[in-house]
Each structure stands twice: as C-alpha cells, then as structure tokens.
Amino acid sequence: MNDANRSATPGRRTVLRAALAVGAANLAPPFILSARGEQPVLIGLCNPLTGTYAGVGKNELSGCELAVTQINGKGGILGRPVELRVEDSTSGDAGTAVQKARKLIERDKVDFLLGNVNSALALAMAQVSNEKNILHIVPGGHTDAITGATCHWNVFRVCNATQMEANASAQQLIEKAGRKWYYITPDYAFGHTLQAALEKAAERLGGTKVGADLAPLGTTDFSSYLIKAQAANPEVIIFLPQGDDMVNALKQAVQFGLDKRIHLAGAQQELESLEGLPPEARIGSWVFEWYWKQPGVPHVAEFVEAIRKKTGKVPTARTWFGFVSTWSCALAAQAAKSMDAPKMAKALGGMTLPPEIALVPDPALYRAEDHQLVASLFVGNAQAGGTDPEDLFNVSRVVRGADVAGRVEDSPCKMVWPS
C-alpha cells in the first residue's frame, strides 16, 4: 500500500493555520514590471494592480503611460528620456505599499514617486517619500490629510480632497433629494473623512444625519446594511464605498427596489463603477472629478481619442489623474530647470497647468500653500446610457474647484521645508 492511499484528512489545526496563512498572504502578492534604458529619468508608480482597486489602478497606469509617451515625444525631461517603473502596491496593505515605494526609491533610484489610489496607502507612502526627499504626486487618494494635517513639502495631489467633493455634492442633494441622510461608509481613512466632510456641509445647509454605518473594506454583501438603513427612514441613502464595494452596494439597493422609495446618492462616483453596474442600477446623484464629455473644452477630444486608441475605452477620471500626475513631474523639472526635489516642489506649487494637460474648463492650479490641485468638479446624475454607450453620466453643473476647496488659511496644513 502506498502513501497516497492513506487517509490524510488534515486536522482542524492545519485547516486553521492554513486559513490564517491565506488571510495574511493575500495581502502581499508580488508583481514587478521593469524596463531598461540609458540614463533615463525614472518615474516610479506604486499603485494597486490587484485587489479591489485593480481596475481604477490600471486606468491611472494608462494615463501615466500616455503622458510618458507624450513627454518623450517632446524631448523628455531636461533632455533625458523618461521611463515608468511600476509596482503593485496591492489594494489595501500599507506594509506592501511602503516596501514597494522604498524599493522604487532605494533600488531603482526613481526621480519621482506616484501613488496611491488608497488614501491610507498614499499617506504611508508620503512618509517614505518625505524621508527620502523625493517629489511625490498622489494621483487618486482622496483623504483630506494628504494635503491637510499631514501635508509635506514634497507631496502634491491631483484628485480632490474629500472635503471638496462633499461641498460640491451636498448642495445639489439638499435641493433635489432631501434633508434626512443615512450614510453607508467604508471603514478606512477616505470614508471617515468623506462622511465627516459631508456631515459638516449638510449641517450648514440644514441637513441632518439619521444614521450611519461603517462597512469594512471589501464587504460583498450589503443587504444587512440596507435593511438597517431603510429602517431609519431616510430621504437619501449616501453611498460612500468605492470600487467593487460601491458596485455591490448599489446593485443590491436596486435589487431591493430601494431606489423607488429613497433617493440613492453619494459624493464621489466613477465611470469604472458605473460600467460594472447593470443599466437599471446606473442611478443617483454624484460628483465626477473629471468627465470625458466636455463640449467646447480645448484638447479634451484629442485626449479621449488618444486613450481610446490605446485602450479601446474612453478615459476616466483615473486616467486623467495618472496623466496629469506624470505630466506634473515633467512640468516641475522644466520650470525648476533642475532635478533637485525642493526646487521642483517650489516651482510646481502655485503653477497653473497648461490647457492641453489640465483638460478642464476652469484653471487647474496647484495651491502653493497645501499642494492641492484645484480644477473642476462635475456634478450630475448617473444614466443608463446617453448618446454613446460609455456616456453614463449626465453633467448638470460644473463646479469650480476653487469655490469648494475651502480657504487656504483654514487648512491644517503646516508645511515644513528642508533647510
């Protein structure tokens, strides 16, 4: 009798240990992409390529790649070619993100660092980039602290702070949907700050909170949250989860028919999420940070065409974040005429982006005081399909970023520059 035929049922302890191991190991899938060249300027992107944010991370990557091609086509950065180094930060593990950021800085010797989609990971990476004096651009991590309480001289952000999104969306919601709000909020930095900002904005306009629940990141089943929300009898249910979690939550709400009785809405919405929803669930009032249909705004059509040619799909806000972030590196170096990080940071602070890169109707400006980009926000409603199969959002109003960004004087950001 050979070994293979023995009863080999593993014990409970083995199953238990194994289950713990898979839980931990899930957080660290390795993924490395690299390229070689001669004395190029290196831009390191440490962003999710796996997990919940893989989809949006990939779109940011497409934007970065297009920008790199364009920059090289125009002679590179200070005459040197540009290369992108990409690392998978995972979607939720700050340890991995920091380790990959360190690898990019210490081993690959990148000149710029980009990332991260996840706010918590972006904050952790910002500490590393600050310690290493590397110019760091956060394309799409929204929590206020990045350009607020924990701002750094070397860190810039392209996407909006949560507070800006809250201010832009609150007014439309109060006017059109109702004053009694129930929040379903993802349980991490981004969700907490977004909910706090919305509560503040709603209060100013006479809105009230009738309840709120924190849902762990990666929640698949939102039914029990929806049961609870419905029982609180709100006029509006505010959905703050992002990515796949948002898709799951909205889809279930529509399956339950809640959209017939309660207004479903939120602050930030993304084309990626709407694409993942069945047409009947593409509903609600939201804020887009960038939209591909901007009639009359110069250079947007060319950008849409270029991305369509590259990926077969229209660019999303994420593509735009990646594109603007990468171009910002080149603009900073060109304005500073140097690759010295403090000089580049000084040059980028206060800079208004040229229209072929800004791609929005309002002037896109990096505020010198907190390094937050203020551009335009697009308020409107999700729609099952417009003139184009990818036209899933109907913009009702474009809000100037400067109007919702709050005053610089009120910002908790205290920037300390290297001496």
Partner 1 sequence: MLQLILFNVFNGLIVGAFYALMALGLSLIINLSGVINFAHGGFLALGAYLAYSLMPLVGFWGALVVAPLLTAALGLAIERLLIRRVYGRDPLYSLLLTFGLAYILEDVTRYIWGPQSLPYPIPAVLTRPLSTQFFFLTGYRLFMVALVGLAVAALFFVLGRTRLGIRIRAGTLDLETVSALGVNVRVLRNLNFGLGIYLAGLAGVLAAGMLGLQPTIGTSLIMPSFVAIIVGGLGSLPGTLLGGLLIGVVSGLATVFLPSASEAVIYVMMGLVLLLRPRGLLGEEGRLK
Query: Residues in the site for partner 1, rule: CB under 8 A?
Result: 1-16, 18-19, 21-23, 25-26, 29, 49-52, 54-55, 57-58, 187, 213-216, 218-221, 223-228, 230-231, 244, 247-248, 251-252, 255-258, 261, 272-273, 275-281
Q: Minimum distance between the CB of residue 354 and partner 1, rounded to whole angstroms?
A: 31
Q: Minimum distance between the CB of residue 266 and partner 1, rounded to whole angstroms?
A: 17
If the CB atoms of residues 2 and 39 are measured against partner 1, the closer one turns out to be: 2
If the CB atoms of residues 29 and 418 are measured against partner 1, the closer one turns out to be: 29
Cα four-point dihedral sign 147, 150, 155, 159: negative
Q: Minimum distance between the CB of residue 261 and partner 1, rounded to whole angstroms?
A: 7
If the CB atoms of residues 160 and 219 are measured against partner 1, the closer one turns out to be: 219
* Cβ count near 266 (within 10 Å): 28
Phi first, then psi, for residue 126 (nearest 5°) are -65, -35
Q: Minimum distance between the CB of residue 387 and partner 1, rounded to whole angstroms?
A: 20
- Integer CA distances (angstroms), 16 to 12, 19, 26, 316, in order: 6, 5, 15, 42
Q: Minimum distance between the CB of residue 143 and partner 1, rounded to whole angstroms?
A: 17
Q: Minimum distance between the CB of residue 30 and partner 1, rounded to whole angstroms?
A: 10
DSSP-assigned letters across all residues of 203-235: HHTT-EEEEEEEE-TT----HHHHHHHHHT--S
If the CB atoms of residues 56 and 333 are measured against partner 1, the closer one turns out to be: 56
DSSP-assigned letters across all residues of 114-179: E--SSHHHHHHHHHHHHHTT-EEEESS---GGGGTTT--TTEEE-SPPHHHHHHHHHHHHHHHT-S
Q: Identify which of 163, 118, 170 has the alpha carbon closest to the alpha carbon of residue 144.
A: 163
If the CB atoms of residues 127 and 311 are measured against partner 1, the closer one turns out to be: 311
If the CB atoms of residues 48 and 406 are measured against partner 1, the closer one turns out to be: 48
Look up residue 203 and give its two tokens.
Answer: 């209060």
Total number of residues shown for the chain: 419
3-state secondary structure of 188: coil
Q: Minimum distance between the CB of residue 281 and partner 1, rounded to whole angstroms?
A: 8
Q: Which residues contact 14 (CB under 8 A, 6 or more apart)?
A: none
Q: Minimum distance between the CB of residue 89 and partner 1, rounded to whole angstroms?
A: 14
If the CB atoms of residues 48 and 148 are measured against partner 1, the closer one turns out to be: 48
If the CB atoms of residues 169 and 219 are measured against partner 1, the closer one turns out to be: 219
What does the buried/exposed string (b/e) look like for 336-365 if buried means 16 or more CB atoms within 10 Å of the residue's CB? beebebbbbbbbbbebebeeebbbbbbebb
Chain centre distance of CA 137:
12
